[in-house]
Homo-oligomer: A and B are copies of this chain.
Amino acid sequence: MQTKIILPEDKLPKQWYNIIPDLPGPLAPVISPRTGEPVTPEELLAIFPPAILEQEMSSQRWIDIPEQVRDIYTMWRPSPMFRAHRLEKALGTPAKIYYKYEGVSPAGSHKPNSAIPQAFYNKQAGIKRLATETGAGQWGSSLSLACSLFGLECTVYMVKVSYFQKPYRKSMMQMWGATVYPSPSEMTEAGRAALAENPDSNGSLGLAISEAVEDAATHGDTNYALGSVLNHVCMHQTVIGLEAIEQMKMVGDYPDVVIACCGGGSNFAGLAFPFLADKSAGKQVRCLAVEPASCPTLTKGVYDFDYGDTAKLGPIAKMYTLGHDFMPPGIHAGGLRYHGESPLVSQLYNAGLIEARAVMQTGCFEGAILFAKTEGIVPAPESSHAVRAAIDEALLAKEEGKEKTILFNLSGHGFMDMTAYDNYLAGNLEDYEYPAEMVQESLKHLPKVKL
């Protein structure tokens, strides 16, 4: 009974898949908050290196992965795929459940897939320091690792609620040499303004982005790196899905549905985009993005132009949004607390090419513990959203007496999130559905964009 599906190192993808040329229509332009006009390359070059900017705009379907990046990828890639025999048995389902496991990266999640090339291209461009934000700490630790490997300095603005909920993540970044500030911080105008308004602010990913962008924009030797949302980040993550397709071939199977949790969208994109493009199996796979009911961007947001950050410093993009001043509660899946969504994922969802579902956090932890007790691995709270949805799909298959092949991305491990499990086991976690009327209130503040 084969459990692990291991792709040989020489099958590590040589190119990333860029979905832009395969979209159902042109991408809406990104708008400058300063001019209200489409953003110019010059504005973006203040915070991004040329190679990243080129990737962000590229209409080339396949983009070469530099050798130096592939070399570091091999530290943990190709990542393993597992058949969840024990979970299937515990559920009594006729469905086959596979999962791709990204928790084997040194930082413990899929995030280094983009942190490594971003650090590489910035180093190449002569940049000395990268500034970034982090929610759960997965991205911040991944960029800290990447900067350490390429000899760059790293400054991380960590959403305050996560800074205190996940002290180990902070320590990990510091161990890799990064400087970490709880956001809102006193280091930036955006942070000071937020603190003046509410000294006890929990922070948000949108606000932390404002701080990091401001830091990069105001320091010549410093660039900004974003861990999700943007096109190039989604593209870097496609190594996940590209490997998964090969691994599925190795066992002669193919998924009916692929499932990933969805915050900014890069993790979902990484698994789903290559499957959306794959015609080899002669069938179309369902792609399901899973988000928290407390931050229901796709399922309760609107598809419109909005700021990517709270302080309105970053570009305006057309995406699903809950409003840039949406302030999510301090749920444990800190990586899924973003008000917006990747424009790529948004366009696909709007076109009906992918599905979305919002789930409650206690159901996610319940699923994660069943998973840990059967498959051994402790899922990250973010990944537990995909676990929950995979279990629900498997239970539905059981109810309907149907065979089905499910593949989900276990995007990270939860070794550093045990406080959340503690709270769940102690019965201290509450479910929370973000009220529609509060979303409506936030949506009143969308920027006016005329094209």
Contact = CB atoms under 8 A, between A and B. Distances in A.
Interface of A: 1-4, 6, 8-9, 71, 74-76, 82, 86, 104-108, 145, 148-149, 167-168, 171-172, 174-177, 369, 372-378, 413, 415-416, 418-419, 421-422, 425
Contact of A177 (B6, B71, B373): B373
Given A416-B168, A418-B167, A2 B6 contact: no
A175 B9 contact: no
A372 to B, nearest CB: 6
Contact of A375 (B75, B415, B419): B75
B75 A4 contact: yes
Nearest to A168: B418
Given A369-B175, A421-B175, A106 B377 contact: yes
26 contacts: A1-B71, A2-B9, A2-B74, A3-B71, A3-B75, A4-B74, A4-B75, A6-B6, A75-B82, A75-B376, A76-B376, A86-B149, A104-B104, A105-B376, A106-B377, A148-B372, A149-B374, A168-B415, A172-B418, A172-B421, A175-B369, A175-B372, A175-B421, A415-B415, A415-B416, A416-B416
A226 to B, nearest CB: 22
Contacts of A107: 376
A434 to B, nearest CB: 27
Contacts of A106: 372, 375-378
Interface hub of A75, A176, A416, A425 (most chain B Cβ within 10 A): A75
Nearest to A8: B6
Contacts of A9: 2-4, 6
A419 B174 CA distance: 12
Contacts of A378: 106, 172, 175
Contacts of A415: 108, 168, 172, 413, 415-416
B171 A419 contact: yes
B74 A3 contact: yes
A306 to B, nearest CB: 36
A115 to B, nearest CB: 11
B149 A376 contact: yes
A398 to B, nearest CB: 21
A401 to B, nearest CB: 27
Contacts of A105: 376
A425 B170 CA distance: 12
A82 B106 CA distance: 13
Q: Which 3 A-B pairs have the closest CB atoms?
A: A106-B376, A168-B418, A171-B418
